[in-house]
Amino acid sequence: MPSMPVGFWGDTEGDRYRDTYFDTYPGVWCHGDWVRFSAATGSCTVAGRSDATLNRGGVRLGTAEFYRVVEELPEVDDSLVVHLEDPVGSPGELLLFVALHDGSELDDALRKRIETVLRNALSPRHVPDSVIPVPVIPRNRTGKKLELPVKRLLLGAALSEAVSRDTLAEPTSLDPFTVLAAERQVQGWIGPA
């Protein structure tokens, strides 16, 4: 514990495997969970996925907190939140994507309710800079929301670099994010690293 996979099905050359686990620290396995080691006891605590925590202005925000609050609204079927850090140190940009219940519309009143419920239930730091409607929230085949691939796309990565369509529960679910990323790049909001 934790256990290290030895490869991915269909990845005969091992490229996806290396990109997933050895890209952060070349030659060193990085599994993506936060771990705390105790010098006093020699034990460790696995705290959970590092990509499921946002860091906005030095404050850690759990994505599950957002989902618990926003998805209680009757108009919202599903949601996904990402934080795009600013390399020069400003608070960055917090984007909340919502898949709405049939017949619901993301108008100014619903945006305001989403902002108010997040501010009241959580904190002012949880209020997103933008609330953006999408047809469906991208998930992998096991149901995990694809926060990190969406963030990578919005920061300028190509779809093929962010995730394999073969892993998506709905193969076209990332299409609106690739369109948004291209629009943002044209407007100068982001650029490839």
Q: Per-residue pLDDT tens for 33-42?
A: 656 678 888 8
Cα 51 to Cα 27: distance, rounded to the nearest angstrom: 21
Which residue is it, tokens 């396995």? Answer: 29
Is 102:113 a contact under the CB 8 Å cutoff? Answer: no
Threshold 0.85, pTM exceeds: no
Identify the H or E element spanning 98: strand 93-100
| CA distance to 42, 43, 124, 141, per residue, from 38 (Å) | 5, 5, 33, 36
Per-residue pLDDT tens digits for 53-103: 677 766 677 888 889 999 999 999 999 999 988 766 677 899 999 999 999
What is the reported pLDDT for 39? 86
First-residue to last-residue Cα distance in the chain: 34
What's the CA dihedral at 180, 20, 55, 118 to 10 degrees? Answer: 60
Helices (H), the chain: 15-21, 63-70, 108-121, 147-154, 159-162, 175-186
